[in-house]
Amino acid sequence: DIQMTQSPSSLSASVGDRVTITCRASQSISKYLNWYQQKPGKAPNLLIYKASTLQTGVPSRFSGSGSGTDFTLTISSLQPEDFATYYCQQSYTTLFTFGPGTKLDI
Amino acid sequence: EVQLVESGGGLVQPGRSLRLSCTASGFTFDDYAMHWVRQAPGKGLEWVSGISWSSGAIAYADSVKGRFTVSRDNAKNSLYLQMNSLRPEDTALYYCAKDMSANLYDSGASDYWGLGTLVTVSS
């Protein structure tokens, strides 16, 4: 099975900061990597799919990159509504494993 | 507007069964694969099961394989999760999620989610 790791597990930042979250797969998953944002008490929200494609309606300050085993989610200029937990998910195999999450707070 | 509404959660004793349902609206249900994803209290997301538009492809996480069965009724715009031999570690909020594609092998990304239904397994 493919294992997903994320770093850091938590991150403190300020409004306006540029933030990068890393996701690593235990084996190559090509570009089959998705990113979700989850706020407390809410369902997850799809941000990016296939590593770099921005989901409709998601602000352009979010971007994704990477292929193979290493991926990044970048928020170019943090806004107050971006403080949340971020999860990566591989969809290369039909065991759609999530990463453990990165909690982004002030 | 896409809506996914889960139901069927509750308190159940270890070893017993429960059936979750998800009713979909606002999109052509039989055009898309569907997933169940769970989240234990205070923990991360865990993908549980997925089913293609036609039910021709089905997948399960190792943690539930052999105990859970996913199914769908396209005529009723509904997704189901039959959960047998429940364990305390199955305690979680269970989300129903819509895939962006019809087949499990095409996408795996979930663009719409329900609010979840809580399953608590305890004696």
The HSE-up count of residue A47 (CA atoms within 13 Å, CB side) is: 27
**Averaged pLDDT for residues B10-32:** 98
The average confidence (pLDDT) of chain B is 97
* Whole-number Cα distances in Å, B36 to A70, A74, A90, B114: 26, 28, 15, 10
Across the A:B interface, residue pairs with CB atoms under 8 Å apart total 62
B100 touches chain A (CB under 8 A): yes
What tens digit of pLDDT does each residue of B43-90 get?
999 999 999 999 999 999 999 999 999 999 999 999 999 999 999 999
CA distance A61 to A106: 18
pLDDT for res B108: 81
Side by side, which strands form the sheet with A70-75?
Answer: A4-7, A19-25, A70-75, A62-67
pLDDT for res B25: 98
Which mean pLDDT values do the consecutive 10-residue runs of chain A (106 residues) have? Answer: 96 96 97 97 97 97 98 97 96 93 94
Q: Which residue of A has its CA nearest to B4?
A: A43
CA distance B95 to B46: 10
**Averaged pLDDT for residues B30-55:** 97
Task: List, in sequence order, every residue forming a beta bridge with B112; answer none if it has no partner.
Answer: B98
How far away is chain A from the Cα of B17, in angstroms, using its nearest Cα?
24
Closest among A3, A2, A6, A4 to A73, alpha carbons compared: A6
CA distance A47 to A71: 14
Closest among B83, B80, B79, B101 to B92, alpha carbons compared: B83
Of B47, B50, B110, the CB nearest to A46: B110
pLDDT for res B18: 98
pLDDT for res B107: 75
Contacts of A55 in chain B (CB under 8 A): 111
Of A43, A96, A99, the CB nearest to B108: A96
Strand A102-105 with A10-12, pairing: parallel
